[in-house]
């Protein structure tokens, strides 16, 4: 792929990307959220069109007009978001779009089930029947079906975008086995993942991307993690994040959570947060941190447990109650849950404040606008004018708008899930600075993030979760990438950071 | 020319520049003003060209007065559509309220106020049922209001037994004919309703939350807005407005008849859409709906004048609504 | 989708419970049909008589034919409001062209199917290419169709031949010809939906248009095809109605679009597409027809029938939408 550019409204997603790989290679593609990895492979797979640039496949120019072209050219993609139909069976999902035929447009259902069974066997999956409906499967199983989809077709190039996000450890090993097999038979694999341990286990070479640009391609053999991380980050972590705070442990914690559990949380969780510290909740995709955040904010109903603020027990039964108690929440699905895209920026920013103040009667729009403008200036939000619709802002500015609307409510507790996903570098730094200022002013800030670099750089104390339970608690001084990563993959650690026995194989990496 | 190598023929260029500048300004104006306004202007112009008498105040007033009930129904429907739903039941609500009003007033003055109160209460109840079915039972509003439409049709027939019953008292019908300062009461009432609706939608937190809910209900929920309550409110408003429109409509009749209300749901929805509101919610206002009402009224006046066959109006309605939505999508896609 | 892992070999009871949970709508509909039949039969013995069963079957045919077409649209995430005007126009064009002369039948068929298929194409193209909402698109076609019809016809018009009448009134043994026709279409549609690639793609379109596209489904073609099928079935319905009425009528199709949508959705087929079956549609059609029949036998007034009908539509849909997550709209 040469000189690929891609634009979305408000965002220059890919800036002249050059990317190439050889046959029989397992190429890892790494980079932070929003670096452009998914966009790049969607262009390769015919889902998006590149605005500029070209793709050369096996020596010939390749311009897929739709996903079918890519599939016919031997490219198979396992996307990050599932593209499964809940009301169709596993076999039907696997073969959608390339059903085996039997004349006159009929499907060969027998062949479909046979083919599906074969693929599932290859993946050594015992508990999924090809005739099961996808809506009845667990998230783990859904991921396996997605992988099966790609394997069911004979491809020469398979792209896997975060294929292990929802997988259990044994399934991950099975997948690696298959990748090795495929490589042997001449298939090229592009493997996108956040989990650097995996990169080192199966990758031949690794390419790092950042903010829509290609940084470097390095051979995995002989590479050490530090170099890789440095390459990915591109600049010294120290400059990028504001300073840390170490708090006096004897001061009473402001927020105490005891045995909290909602109906979607696997286990009960307890922790304490002091005023003035940025508290981080981290883990791998699916670790339960997001569910915990949502329970705190009242989005999911609390089944058991207590929360108390400054010594007083509080009950958060709904987002409205949370808001009135002084909570604020930024969801990780910015577009679906954070903004009203068709509404003007000013409207988006005004709503929580209006709800909190319980306005009846006519609004004082002049006053509202004045407060909004103050906040816009303070956060340096760049928008053509405040009546512009929120969908036209860049990702960074959109996030600032969402942040601003909660700040306007003068919340005491701010919960942010993935604060800088898909945001440019400058805005990231600004947001980090803002969060620090907030804690200095006495606001409690809880950050949920799966971005290791961010968690280590930003948070003063870190809680690591794995499958819903706490596997590690660190301060910024005791945390390191190794210890946090280990805890995130489920390895319990002692206070020195040594792996506690018994530990699964993957902890020994 | 050799001296100023870089600026070829400055004079001609200036003239060209001026022309393009004016063109650009004109284009900017055209782009800024929403399409329905242009449609309205064109229609008024065309009508005037065909028959200037139409634009005489007395004729205009008559035109507007005829359309008042339809406008009020459309305004009620606006609330539901802004929040992302549909209300198909208003046609039958009109029939039922007209029947009840006719039956309860039964020609006596004393019955007017209690009947009006009763009518509004019944309408509010209908709206409440619609709202609850949509929010609690999660039946899509299309199907809920469809079911209600059928059920209410039956209810109206049960009440009247299919025959005209009761009647509207003279004093009540005076409302339909009377004027204040030369302008009919009905038009005053319409203006008040429009103003109140617009103020509600644009200047109160609750009103604005209707638009927000239509734009993204999940985000609103996370910001503390009670999404279900807002949606229920829109259905109640829709039915109550339908009742108000009905009461105003029947001032020109003596008694209920079974054709009242037929098709008014599609008419109302058409006006809301043509005016620029988005199906699925999040865009629109009382003003855009009135704009749609004006366009449709003017359109049919024009067609009547040029002798377009009565049945043909359906065709025109169909084409217009299609064009309106298509044009709207263009406007939405033009990223400034 | 569930967050807990399935037990590897689910017990039979578990599988039955799961099937019931996923098919609540259809099961409820058929239960109501059975209940209505038995209750009304218990009160009035006439219900069980063969002649009554035949009456029910006849009533089923027109709603059934058009609902089969509507099912394709709704499964793919769209719907068609224009079927009513297509039916009316078909009766007029058909009966009007034939006008009692059997040699004109072929021409009449060509005409009505031409018009029907054209309508389907227009609907499908507008929704797929111009990306205009199905409500608006099919509302527009309905209005244009109704308008065109009323512009040229002021009342019943046209005449059929005895040959055509056979379609509407003929019997093969104890079974009406019309029912056989319905059964034929039903079977064909069932096979298409469950056994062909196209059928799978129809479900896929409703299951998620973006995902379908990514998987390589030609969403434009499928969308257009579903609407053409729907208009085709509407045309067939029109021909049947003409054979029953003996003539064409511009008002005959009114309200049938909403009724067909209700019939499809009442038994578990989601208005948003992706799930549901033709058996559900059959159940819905049976339910609505059976209700009318029962009410008639019980001498319930038309007016109360309307009320009951409306409320039952809401209740039947509520049975399977109640447990949906998220907000209703």
The string of pLDDT tens digits covering residues A250-276 is 778 888 898 898 888 888 999 999 888
When pLDDT is cut at 50, 70 and 90, the band that residue B141 belongs to is very high
- The percent of residues above 70 in pLDDT, for chain B, comes to 88
Q: Which residues of C touch A66 (CB under 8 A)?
A: 213, 216
If one compares B7 and A214, the residue with the highest pLDDT of the two is: A214
Query: Looking at residue C227, what is its pLDDT?
Result: 97
When pLDDT is cut at 50, 70 and 90, the band that residue A327 belongs to is very high
Mean pLDDT calculated for residue range B213-219? 93
Query: What angle in degrees, to the nearest 10, is found between the helix axes of B264-274 and C134-152?
Result: 120
Tell me the three-class secondary structure of A456-484, residue by residue.
HHHCCEEEEEECCEEEEEEECCCCCHHHH
pLDDT at A216 over 50: yes
Report the distance separating Cα A109 and Cα A134, nearest Å.
17
Q: Identify which of A224-228, A392-396, C274-278 has the greatest average pLDDT.
A: C274-278
Q: Identify which of A226-235, C105-114, C297-306 has the greatest average pLDDT.
A: C105-114
pLDDT at C87 over 50: yes
Span of A374-383, A470-479, B46-55, B91-100 with lowest mean pLDDT = B46-55
* Beta strand segments in A24-80, E: 26-30, 52-57, 60-62, 75-78
Query: Looking at residue C2, what is its pLDDT?
Result: 42
Q: What does B260-323 look like in DSSP terms, one character per residue?
A: TTTTHHHHHHHHHHHTTPPTTSSS--HHHHHHHHHHHHHHHHHHHHTT--TTHHHHHHHHHHHH
Q: Is-above-0.95 flag for pTM?
A: no
Residue of A nearest to B333 (CA): A9
User: Dihedral of the CA atoms B317, B318, B324, B330 (nearest 10)?
Assistant: -160
If one compares B239 and A165, the residue with the highest pLDDT of the two is: B239
Q: Is A322 on the interface with B (CB under 8 A)?
A: yes
Mean pLDDT calculated for residue range C241-247? 89
Q: Which of residues 72 through 111 in chain B touch C, CB cutoff 8 A? A: 83-86, 88
Q: Is A245 helix (H, G, I), strand (E, B) or coil?
A: coil
Radius of gyration (Cα) for chain A, nearest Å?
A: 24
Q: Which of residues 56 through 115 in chain C touch B, CB cutoff 8 A? A: none
Query: Looking at residue C7, what is its pLDDT?
Result: 46
Query: Looking at residue A497, what is its pLDDT?
Result: 60
Q: Which of C140, C328, C329 sits opposite B321 (nearest CB)?
A: C140
Q: Which of C132, C272, C324 sits opposite B322 (nearest CB)?
A: C132
pLDDT at A202 over 60: yes
ipTM above 0.85, yes or no: no
pLDDT at A117 over 70: yes
Query: What angle in degrees, to the nearest 10, is found between the helix axes of C302-321 and C278-297?
Result: 150
Domain range list for chain B: 37-335
* Sign, Cα dihedral of C288, C290, C293, C295: negative
Q: Is C195 on the interface with A (CB under 8 A)?
A: yes
pLDDT digits (tens, 9 = 90+) for C90-113: 999 999 888 888 888 899 999 999
Query: What angle in degrees, to the nearest 10, is found between the helix axes of A395-407 and A365-379?
Result: 130
Helices (H), A387-480: 395-407, 425-440, 452-458
CA of B111 to nearest chain A CA: how many angstroms apart? Answer: 33
Q: Which residues of B touch C308 (CB under 8 A)?
A: 151, 154
**Which chains pack against A, by 3+ Cβ pairs within 8 A?**
B, C
Q: Is B138 on the interface with C (CB under 8 A)?
A: yes
Query: Looking at residue B47, what is its pLDDT?
Result: 80
Q: Which residues of B touch A320 (CB under 8 A)?
A: 224-226
pLDDT at A107 over 70: yes
Q: Is C8 on the interface with A (CB under 8 A)?
A: yes
When pLDDT is cut at 50, 70 and 90, the band that residue A105 belongs to is confident
Give how far Cα B309 sits from Cα of B40, B54, B299, Å: 21, 19, 13
CATH of domain B37-335: 1.10.3470
When pLDDT is cut at 50, 70 and 90, the band that residue A504 belongs to is low
Query: Looking at residue B253, what is its pLDDT?
Result: 86
Bridge partners (DSSP) of residue A282 are: A449, A464
Q: Which helix (H) or strand (E) holds A211?
A: none
Q: Which residues of C touch A82 (CB under 8 A)?
A: 211
Residue of C nearest to A79 (CA): C214
Report the distance separating Cα C174 and Cα A378, nearest Å.
83
Report the distance separating Cα A338 and Cα A341, nearest Å.
9
Report the distance separating Cα A151 and Cα A158, nearest Å.
8
pLDDT at C219 over 80: yes
Report the distance separating Cα A440 and Cα A243, nearest Å.
11
pLDDT digits (tens, 9 = 90+) for B9-51: 444 445 555 555 666 666 666 666 677 777 788 888 888 887 7
Best mutation target among C25, C258, C323, C328 (most B Cβ atoms within 10 Å) is C328
Span of A119-123, A217-221, A424-428, C58-62 with lowest mean pLDDT = A424-428
């Amino acid at each position: 792929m040469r000189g690929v550019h891609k634009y979305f409204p408000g965002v220059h997603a890919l800036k002249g990307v050059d990317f190439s790989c050889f046959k029989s290679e397992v190429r890892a593609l790494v980079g932070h959220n929003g670096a452009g990895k998914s966009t790049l492979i969607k262009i390769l797979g015919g889902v998006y069109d590149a605005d500029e640039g070209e793709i050369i496949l096996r020596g010939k120019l390749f311009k897929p007009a739709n996903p079918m072209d890519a599939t016919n050219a031997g490219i198979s993609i396992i996307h990050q978001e599932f593209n499964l139909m809940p009301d169709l069976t596993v076999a039907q999902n696997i073969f959608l779009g390339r059903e085996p035929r039997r004349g006159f447009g009929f499907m060969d259902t027998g062949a479909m089930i046979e083919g599906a069974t074969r693929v599932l066997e290859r993946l050594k999956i015992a508990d999924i029947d090809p005739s099961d409906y996808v809506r009845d499967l667990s998230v783990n199983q859904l991921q396996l079906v997605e992988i099966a989809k790609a394997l069911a077709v004979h491809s020469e190039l398979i792209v896997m975008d975060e294929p292990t996000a929802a997988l259990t450890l044994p399934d991950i090993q099975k997948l690696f086995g298959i990748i090795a097999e495929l490589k042997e038979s001449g298939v090229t694999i592009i493997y996108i993942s956040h989990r650097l341990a995996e990169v080192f286990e199966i990758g031949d070479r690794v390419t790092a991307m950042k903010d829509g640009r290609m940084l470097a391609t390095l051979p995995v053999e002989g590479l050490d993690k530090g170099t890789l991380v440095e390459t990915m980050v591109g600049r010294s972590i120290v400059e990028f994040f504001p300073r840390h705070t170490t708090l006096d442990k004897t001061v009473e914690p402001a927020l105490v959570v005891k045995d909290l559990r909602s109906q979607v949380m696997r286990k009960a969780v307890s922790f304490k947060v002091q005023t003035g510290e940025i508290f981080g909740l981290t883990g791998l995709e699916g670790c339960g941190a997001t569910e915990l955040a949502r329970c705190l904010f009242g989005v999911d109903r609390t089944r058991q447990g207590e929360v108390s603020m400054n010594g007083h027990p509080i009950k958060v039964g709904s987002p409205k109650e949370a808001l009135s108690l002084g909570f604020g929440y930024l969801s990780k699905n910015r577009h679906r849950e954070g903004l009203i895209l068709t509404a003007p920026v000013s409207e988006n920013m005004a709503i929580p404040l209006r709800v909190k103040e319980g306005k009846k009667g006519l609004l004082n729009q002049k006053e509202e606008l004045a407060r909004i403008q103050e906040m816009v200036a303070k956060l340096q939000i760049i928008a053509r004018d405040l009546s512009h619709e929120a969908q036209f802002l860049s990702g960074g500015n959109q996030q600032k708008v969402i942040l601003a609307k909660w700040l306007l409510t003068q919340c005491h507790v701010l919960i942010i899930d993935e604060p800088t996903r898909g945001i440019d570098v400058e805005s990231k730094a600004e947001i980090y600075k803002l969060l620090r200022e907030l804690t200095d002013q006495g606001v409690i800030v809880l950050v949920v993030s799966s971005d290791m670099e961010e968690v280590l750089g930003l948070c003063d104390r870190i809680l690591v979760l794995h499958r819903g339970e706490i596997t590690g608690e660190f301060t910024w001084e005791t945390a390191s990438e190794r210890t946090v990563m280990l805890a995130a993959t489920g390895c319990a650690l002692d206070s020195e950071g040594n792996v506690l026995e018994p530990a699964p194989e993957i902890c020994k990496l | 020319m050799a001296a100023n190598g870089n600026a070829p023929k400055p004079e001609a260029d200036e003239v060209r520049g001026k022309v393009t500048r004016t063109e650009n300004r004109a284009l900017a104006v055209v782009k800024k003003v929403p399409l329905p306004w242009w449609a309205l202007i064109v229609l008024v112009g065309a009508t005037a060209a065909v028959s200037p008498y139409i634009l005489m105040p007395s004729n205009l007033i008559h035109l507007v007065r005829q359309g008042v009930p339809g406008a009020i129904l459309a305004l009620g429907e606006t609330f539901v559509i802004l929040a992302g739903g549909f209300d198909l039941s208003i046609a039958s609500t009109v029939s039922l309220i007209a029947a009840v009003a006719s039956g309860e007033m039964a020609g006596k003055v004393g019955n007017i106020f209690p009947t009006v109160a009763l009518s509004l209460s019944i309408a509010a109840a209908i709206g409440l049922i619609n709202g609850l079915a949509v929010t609690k039972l999660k039946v899509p509003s299309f199907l809920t209001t469809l079911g209600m439409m059928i059920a209410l049709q039956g209810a109206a027939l049960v009440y009247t037994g299919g025959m005209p019953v009761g009647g509207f008292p003279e004093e009540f019908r005076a409302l339909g004919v009377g004027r204040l300062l030369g302008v009919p009461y009905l038009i005053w009432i319409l203006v008040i309703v429009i103003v109140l609706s617009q103020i509600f939608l644009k200047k109160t937190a609750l009103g604005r939350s209707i638009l927000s809910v239509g734009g993204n209900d999940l985000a609103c929920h996370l910001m503390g807005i009670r999404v279900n309550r807002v949606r229920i409110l829109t259905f109640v408003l829709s039915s109550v407005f339908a009742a108000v429109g009905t009461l105003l409509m029947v001032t020109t009749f003596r008694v209920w008849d079974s054709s009242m209300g037929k098709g008014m749901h599609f008419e109302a929805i058409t006006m809301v859409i043509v005016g620029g509101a988005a199906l699925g919610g999040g865009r629109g206002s009382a003003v855009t709906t009135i704009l749609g009402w004006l366009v449709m009224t003017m359109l049919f006046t024009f067609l009547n004048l040029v002798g377009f066959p009565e049945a043909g109006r359906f065709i025109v309605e169909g084409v217009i609504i299609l064009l309106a939505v298509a044009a709207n999508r263009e406007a939405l896609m033009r990223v400034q | 989708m569930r967050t807990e892992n399935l037990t590897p070999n689910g017990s039979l009871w578990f599988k039955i419970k799961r099937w019931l949970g996923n098919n609540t709508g259809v099961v409820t509909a058929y239960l109501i049909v059975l209940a209505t039949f038995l209750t009304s039969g218990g009160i009035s013995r006439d219900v069980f008589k063969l002649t009554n069963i035949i009456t029910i079957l006849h009533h089923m045919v027109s709603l059934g034919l058009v609902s089969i077409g509507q099912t394709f649209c709704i499964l793919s995430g769209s719907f068609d409001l224009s079927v009513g005007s297509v039916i009316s126009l078909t009766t007029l064009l058909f009966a009007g062209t034939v006008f009692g002369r059997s040699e004109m039948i072929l021409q009449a068929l060509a005409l009505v199917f031409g018009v029907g298929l054209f309508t389907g194409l227009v609907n499908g193209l507008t929704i797929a290419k111009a990306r205009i909402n199905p409500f608006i698109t099919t509302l527009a076609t309905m209005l244009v169709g109704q308008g065109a019809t009323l512009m040229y016809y002021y009342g019943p018009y046209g005449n059929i031949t005895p040959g055509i009448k056979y379609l509407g009134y003929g019997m093969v043994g104890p079974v009406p010809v019309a029912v056989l026709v319905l059964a034929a279409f039903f079977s064909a549609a069932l096979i298409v939906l469950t056994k062909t690639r196209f059928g799978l793609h129809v479900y896929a379109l409703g299951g998620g248009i973006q995902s379908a596209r990514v998987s390589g489904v030609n969403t434009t073609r499928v969308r257009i095809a579903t609407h053409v099928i729907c208009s085709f079935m509407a045309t067939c319905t029109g021909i049947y109605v003409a054979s029953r009425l003996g003539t064409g009528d511009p008002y005959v199709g009114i309200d049938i679009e909403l009724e067909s949508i209700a019939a499809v959705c009442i038994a578990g087929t989601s208005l948003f597409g992706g799930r549901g079956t033709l058996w559900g549609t059959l159940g819905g059609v049976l339910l609505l027809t059976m209700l009318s029949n029962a009410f008639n036998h019980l001498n319930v007034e038309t007016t109360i029938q309307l009320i009951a009908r409306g409320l039952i539509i809401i209740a039947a849909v509520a049975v399977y939408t109640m447990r949906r997550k998220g907000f209703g709209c």
